[in-house]
Structure 1
């Protein structure tokens, strides 16, 4: 039973990723900034085009990352794993650079700006560290770095979950749809969306690292 569940979870993850991408992308096909799920910075003409390309690259990286963390695919078809890995890295770097531009020009205030800047930097940094570890044949280190990278890639989805939660909670403290509420939601969700998953992931990686010699 546990083995069957272990084989099913990649399909569950991929299904969720596809559902999220199907929900996230349609407004950006219109080319209309008013349809954007993220408020564009009106004073910057380049902001919206960069945002659109970043969203498409980020969603593609999310799907490629799902293939990377699929154990059966990695074991049976290592060449597919390597190709998907190169595609993932090739998507993360430009998407991360664009995220830095968007972060430094975000209209949601300095708290969200700090979070988004740090997130983009860590996303690219963990990805490059995973690539370098693979080239050194340090596959255990490669696995750990790429897991961190993929968790950060998933923050685009977990951020949306926190937005819904905070929109429900915060109107009890702030006027609904006010500038204060929107800023608070953006600031809190931008931090919670990636810090909590990354902390939990690091705890699991550390726990597995300690247990593995005992099992051996």
Structure 2
């Protein structure tokens, strides 16, 4: 039993390192947007929306707040850091919650109405934004009630949705180009947008639920 727990623990540590790695990759990728040019990656898809000041403001609020949560989130799950620096853990946690509830989720909800891919893609991002808000709010609520077991579970779910910023950037090129390298048929970009709008977060939540069942008690 002890060996099984050690294997699980090292598995979670490896997973944590992968999450940190991809979070940093996305962080470096997002820096391009702060040139404030409109000919950068995602913005090239948005057409005349880049002339809409409300949408552009929401876009920059969204990517800035999301990347803060993406990069800081993993460190909140390290037991040693939580126990050694409880005040820092609470401060970072409050910043994470505030950022999502008042910046990232609302801006994501607004941007969902303008998502490429039509109704189904817009619905996917709309649900994502709401679930992001709800899971984070429940994480806050359980922390206030000092139910820290439930709090950690809701934070895992919240961060699984934050991590969609990574999986979105992995699946889109994979579906439109990457799988073709293995002789598999690639998707039309418009269809890939719709498919990616769902698979960038639904599997994340399912994996989070699985991990919550398998996680060692020490996590």
Under a length normalisation based on structure 1, what TM-score does the superposition of the two structures give? 0.83
Kindly tell me: are residues 42 and 13 of structure 1, through their superposed partners in 2, closer, same or farther at Cα, counting changes over 3 Å? same
- The structure 2 residue matched to 1:198, chosen from 190, 205, 214, is 205
Identify unmatched segments of 5+ residues in structure 2: 1-5
- The structure 1 residue matched to 2:20, chosen from 9, 14, 37, is 14
Under a length normalisation based on structure 2, what TM-score does the superposition of the two structures give? 0.82
Identify unmatched segments of 5+ residues in structure 1: 175-180
Map of 1:29 onto structure 2? 34
Kindly tell me: are residues 130 and 173 of structure 1, through their superposed partners in 2, closer, same or farther at Cα, counting changes over 3 Å? closer
Kindly tell me: are residues 82 and 56 of structure 1, through their superposed partners in 2, closer, same or farther at Cα, counting changes over 3 Å? same
Q: Which has the higher contact order (CA 8 A, sep 6+)?
A: 2
8 Å Cα contact 1:119-1:152 kept in structure 2: yes
Kindly tell me: are residues 48 and 7 of structure 1, through their superposed partners in 2, closer, same or farther at Cα, counting changes over 3 Å? same
SS of the equivalent of 1:137 reads: coil
Map of 1:148 onto structure 2? 157
Shift of 1:164: 1.7
Cα root mean square deviation, aligned = 2.5
**1:13-72 Cα shifts (integer Å, max 9, x gaps):** 33331222012221x112122214252252561222311221111001111212211222
**1:50-107 Cα shifts (integer Å, max 9, x gaps):** 1122111100111121221122211211111111101101111211000001001223
Runs of 4+ displaced beyond 4 Å: 1-12
